[in-house]
Amino acid sequence: MAETGKNIDLAAELLLNGNLVAIPTETVYGLAANALNEKAVLSIFEAKQRPFFDPLIIHLPTIESIDKYAELTDPRLQKLAKVFWPGPLTLLLPKKESIPNLVTSGLASVAVRIPNHTLTLELLKKINVPLAAPSANPFGYVSPTQPAHVNSQLGDKIAYILDGGTCEVGLESTIVGIEDDKVCVFRLGGLALEEIEKLVGDTELRINNSSNPASPGQLKSHYAPKKPLYIGDIKKLIKQNAANKIAIICFGEENFEGKDMLLFNLSKDKNLQEAAINLFKFLRLADESDAEIVLCEEVPDISLGRAINDRLRRAAC
């Protein structure tokens, strides 16, 4: 198991020496390495067993620090950065030569964000290099929102876990870029589409479900528990799977009839922000339970609900 603590100096030293460190953000915990050290970046892919064609996000402390690594020149993206950074927004920007191709999987753009977490911002300012940091979990599995989640899955592969408590947002960042001179959302996440459109007008959803992603987090099968997960009308699914011990992930209603059922309610009050915070935690708890299958329902497909449903669909059978 990895050592866990709040020692920013130790985390910085380990990262600058090429080690992996789990870092907290407001979205999920990231598995961080010095983005300028290709050997260290390679160890991220190895630790997560992540395909090399799935690009990484780099994390920086300020908008001013981006200029060394990427081109933030489009006025629409500049406006988003000014309003939503630090925060759960990632911008897909033309990369500069300083960023290794391994980070971007050979693409000409790099995903950049400024996380909204005090410890990690202090760390980024201290080390003065960008950190490549996908979610700190084995590839394709449920993203971690607490230090213990990281330790249970990757504790033997990383040097240190910087303990920033439980993540406040609980969903990965929303990824936005420019394509065909349009503002495009490439991954739904912790910043709602409506908030983006309020600032820059109509945006286009370009959510890639293929095995050739244009940005991080676009593979069709992702965020998945090990147990079979089915989405639909929960009451009908219970009848179809009556012979199995069932874990249910619901939203609001809890009036389900059946035996051998575990119930995880994303939000009894139908609050989408609460549901987003609980999603990965409940997927993990259901997967670690003695249930044989997991049944869930989609939430309203608005605001953060779009990102929640996107994660559920990628996790489903």
| Cα–Cα distance, 124 to 63 (Å, whole number) | 12
Same domain, 107 and 251: no
Same domain, 275 and 185: no
For tokens 């997967």, the residue is 287
> Rounded to two decimals, what is the model's pTM?
0.84
Same domain, 56 and 180: yes
Same domain, 263 and 183: no
Show Cβ contacts of residue 157 under 8 Å, excluding neighbours closer than 6 positions: 20, 47
Q: How confident is the model at residue 197 (pLDDT cuts 50, 70, 90)?
A: very high
**Cross-strand pairs, 109:** 94
How confident is the model at residue 145, as a pLDDT?
A: 95
| Both structure tokens of 13 | 């030293």
Same domain, 10 and 142: yes
**Cross-strand pairs, 34:** 131
| Cα–Cα distance, 282 to 188 (Å, whole number) | 19
**Alpha-helical regions (H) of the chain:** 8-16, 38-48, 75-84, 101-104, 118-127, 147-154, 193-200, 234-240, 272-288, 304-315
Average pLDDT over residues 122-148: 94
β-strand pairing of 3-5 with 160-162: parallel
Let me know if residue 216 belongs to a domain.
no
Same domain, 131 and 233: no
Let me know if residue 93 belongs to a domain.
yes
pLDDT tens, position by position, 45-92: 999 988 777 899 999 999 999 999 999 999 999 999 999 999 999 999
Helix (H, G, I), strand (E, B) or coil at 65: helix
β-strand pairing of 57-59 with 21-23: unpaired
Same domain, 186 and 276: no
Same domain, 270 and 149: no
Indicate whether 212 pLDDT > 60.
no
Look up the CATH number of the domain holding residue 178: 3.90.870.10
Indicate whether 29 pLDDT > 70.
yes
Same domain, 200 and 273: no
For tokens 């983005």, the residue is 35
- The tally of CA atoms less than 13 A away on the side-chain side of residue 159 is 18
Q: Name the domain boundary from 172, 205, 238.
A: 205
Let me know if residue 269 belongs to a domain.
yes
Which residue range is the domain that position 98 belongs to? 3-205
Provide the number of structural domains found in the chain.
Answer: 2
Query: How many CB atoms sit inside 10 A of residue 125's CB?
Result: 14
pLDDT tens, position by position, 242-288: 878 999 999 998 888 777 789 999 999 999 999 988 998 899 899 99
**Cross-strand pairs, 250:** 265
Percentage of the chain modeled with pLDDT above 90: 78
Q: Name the domain boundary from 141, 173, 205.
A: 205
Same domain, 79 and 197: yes
Let me know if residue 310 belongs to a domain.
yes
Write the DSSP symbol of residue 67. Answer: G
Specify whether the CB–CB gap between 119 and 12 falls below 8 A.
no
Specify whether the CB–CB gap between 199 and 41 falls below 8 A.
no
How confident is the model at residue 81, as a pLDDT?
A: 98
Let me know if residue 34 belongs to a domain.
yes
| Backbone torsion region of residue 18, taken as left when φ is above 0, otherwise alpha when ψ lies between -120 and 50, otherwise beta | left
Same domain, 186 and 99: yes
How confident is the model at residue 49, as a pLDDT?
A: 86
| Cα–Cα distance, 306 to 189 (Å, whole number) | 8
Let me know if residue 181 belongs to a domain.
yes
Let me know if residue 211 belongs to a domain.
no
Look up the CATH number of the domain holding residue 290: 3.40.50.11030
Let me know if residue 160 belongs to a domain.
yes
Q: Name the domain boundary from 155, 190, 205.
A: 205
Write the DSSP symbol of residue 144. Answer: P
| Both structure tokens of 187 | 């991954």
| Backbone torsion region of residue 258, taken as left when φ is above 0, otherwise alpha when ψ lies between -120 and 50, otherwise beta | left
Same domain, 102 and 234: no
Distance, CA of 28 to chain centre: 6
- Count of positions (residues) in the chain: 317
